[in-house]
């Protein structure tokens, strides 16, 4: 199936718009896209009429434009007839927001939709989903615009069986400055499944990294997905629920999926070089890191800080994740000591973690990072930048980023993400260097490169 009109529509219609209930999901979707997004959107309701001076059409066939994407938010039993109208009108695809299908036991009704779609080569997302969010283009989520935290446009595609989990990930992306190319909630995934999404994003020039929240697969679906992900050519990150008996039960009641054996899934994923995120925090940090650095490391980390406590926390976090923080030799330490300001030469520690103390300057950080960038025993440098150090400037992010582009060794920064330090954070982000808002997330970013192994 051709998914282009579904994910990059030029026109849109919403079926189920109410003439008297502004909080109806169809109205939320229609109003949001009508007022805030550039794509022309049309309202459809079997009774016809008007809403705020705009025509409400009785059927898709009545809309005076060729429709690419149809959002369906009607009662479950009416959805087959709406799909039939969409097919007859030659629309490009649909998002079925409506619930009341396999997740409630009505498998036959869901299968009827699938049969119709396959016969007519008509793609749809769902049912029982939020659908598609495309930054600055369109939004089928039935969440009022003022309540949705919107990430910037970027190169990370996010696919989720759960709409709520997807929204949480978008909130975290916005907070971390991770840009999104497309976010898709696939719900019951009756027709379009993870494998279809993977194949689409593999060819999508606007996507560099693909993330999945998975609850389960159909028979043999997991094997096919992992094999395709290993051959994708782009980093694929997965977060799977159903790891425990209780979680498996919850998954089955949520989207009527089969959770499968988690331990088997996890070991196969690792074997084929697909990146598994263990929790919701890792998945966003992993996405940011791999959107900047599409490379694999064994895990030898150098830590540079202006605070001994932060260095100790980072070291503990690295070791707990299976990363190593190799001690530098005495000659290596002596060379580093000779490069920094005389005022810190006798008080700084150069063993790794390297504590330059609160008296360090921009030039001290730059000198140490430059030398470690040439050290073959170090694969990645984590720089813990405390903006309240009196001799560190807000330009240090840009300076260190330029050093990365000169030397080519991955740098990961930690800077508290608050407005006061925005200039420092943006110095990294604008130069495609990942910057975490916690020490733990900085380590997660390094761990992403360790888990990523192009197959």
d(CA 449, CA 281): 16
Q: What is the pLDDT of residue 288?
A: 97
Does the fold of domain 149-292 match that of domain 1-128?
yes
d(CA 322, CA 324): 7
CATH fourth-level superfamily of 295-442: Succinyl-CoA synthetase domains (3.40.50.261)
Phi then psi for residue 130, to 5 deg, are -85, -30
- Tell me what the mean pLDDT of segment 92-108 comes to: 96
Joined together, the tokens standing for residue 230 give: 């290993």
Contact 124, 114 (CB under 8 A): no
Q: Binning pLDDT at 50, 70 and 90, where does residue 260 land? A: low
pLDDT tens string 342-369: 999 999 999 999 999 999 999 999 999 9
pLDDT tens string 396-423: 999 999 999 999 999 999 999 889 999 9
Average pLDDT, the chain: 93
Joined together, the tokens standing for residue 62 give: 């009545």
- Note the residue count of the chain: 455
Q: Domain segments of the chain: what residues? A: 1-128, 149-292, 295-442
Res. 425: pLDDT tops 90: yes
Q: What is the pLDDT of residue 252?
A: 43
Q: What are the angstrom distances between the C-alpha of 339 and each of 47, 217, 233?
A: 78, 56, 41
Q: What is the pLDDT of residue 241?
A: 87
Name the CATH code of domain 149-292 (choices 3.90.1640.10, 3.40.50.261, 3.20.20.140, 3.40.50.1580): 3.40.50.261
- Tell me what the mean pLDDT of segment 105-119 comes to: 97
d(CA 61, CA 39): 19
pLDDT tens string 133-173: 999 999 999 999 889 999 999 999 999 999 999 999 999 99
Q: What is the pLDDT of residue 193?
A: 95
| Integer-rounded Cα radius of gyration of the chain | 25
List 210's β-bridge partners, or say none: 157, 236
Q: What are the angstrom distances between the C-alpha of 18 and each of 49, 67, 234?
A: 10, 20, 42
Res. 330: pLDDT tops 90: yes
Res. 249: pLDDT tops 50: no
The hierarchical CATH code for the domain 1-128 is 3.40.50.720
Res. 21: pLDDT tops 90: yes
Residues of the chain above pLDDT 90, percent: 87
- Tell me what the mean pLDDT of segment 222-248 comes to: 83
The whole-model pTM stands at 0.91
Joined together, the tokens standing for residue 37 give: 């997004």
Res. 265: pLDDT tops 90: no
State how far Cα 335 lies from the chain centre. Answer: 41
Q: What is the pLDDT of residue 404?
A: 96
């Amino acid at each position: 199936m051709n998914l282009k009109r579904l994910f990059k529509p030029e026109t849109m219609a919403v079926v189920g718009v109410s003439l008297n209930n502004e909080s109806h999901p169809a109205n939320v979707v229609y109003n949001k896209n009508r007022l805030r997004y550039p794509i022309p959107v049309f309202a459809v309701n079997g009774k016809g009429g008007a809403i705020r001076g705009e025509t409400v059409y009785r059927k898709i066939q009545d809309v005076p434009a060729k429709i690419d994407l149809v959002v369906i938010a009607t009662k479950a039993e009416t959805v087959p007839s709406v799909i039939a109208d969409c097919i007859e009108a030659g629309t490009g695809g649909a998002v079925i927001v409506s619930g009341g299908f396999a997740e409630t036991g009505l498998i036959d009704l869901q299968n009827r939709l699938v049969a119709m779609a396959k016969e007519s080569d008509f793609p749809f997302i769902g049912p029982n989903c939020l659908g598609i969010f495309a930054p600055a283009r369109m939004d089928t989520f039935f969440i009022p615009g003022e309540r949705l935290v919107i990430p910037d446009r970027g190169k990370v595609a996010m696919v989720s069986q759960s709409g709520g989990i997807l929204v949480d990930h978008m909130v975290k992306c916005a907070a971390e400055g991770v840009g999104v190319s497309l976010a898709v909630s696939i719900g019951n995934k009756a027709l379009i499944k993870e494998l279809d999404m993977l194949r689409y994003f593999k060819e999508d020039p606007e996507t560099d990294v693909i993330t999945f929240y998975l609850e389960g697969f159909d028979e043999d679906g997991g094997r096919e997905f992992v094999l395709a992900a290993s051959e994708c050519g782009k980093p694929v990150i997965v977060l799977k629920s159903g790891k425990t008996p209780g979680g498996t039960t919850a998954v089955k009641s949520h989207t009527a999926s089969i959770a499968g054996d988690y331990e088997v899934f996890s070991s196969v994923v690792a074997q084929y070089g697909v990146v598994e995120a263990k929790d919701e925090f890792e998945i966003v940090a992993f996405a940011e890191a791999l959107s900047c650095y599409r490379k694999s490391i064994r895990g030898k980390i150098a830590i540079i800080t202006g605070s001994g406590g932060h260095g100790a926390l980072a070291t503990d976090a690295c070791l707990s994740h299976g990363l190593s923080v190799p001690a530098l030799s005495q000659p290596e330490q002596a060379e580093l000591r000779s490069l920094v300001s005389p005022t810190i030469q006798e008080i700084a520690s150069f063993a790794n973690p390297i504590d330059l103390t609160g008296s360090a300057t921009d030039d001290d950080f730059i000198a140490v990072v430059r030398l470690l960038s040439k050290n073959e025993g170090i694969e990645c440098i984590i720089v813990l930048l405390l903006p309240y150090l009196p001799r560190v400037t807000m330009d240090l992010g840009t300076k260190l980023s330029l050093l990365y582009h000169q030397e080519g060794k991955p740098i990961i920064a930690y800077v508290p993400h608050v407005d006061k330090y925005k200039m420092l954070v943006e110095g990294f982000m604008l130069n495609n260097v990942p910057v975490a808002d916690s020490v733990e997330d900085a380590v997660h970013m390094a761990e992403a490169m360790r888990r990523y192994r192009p197959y």
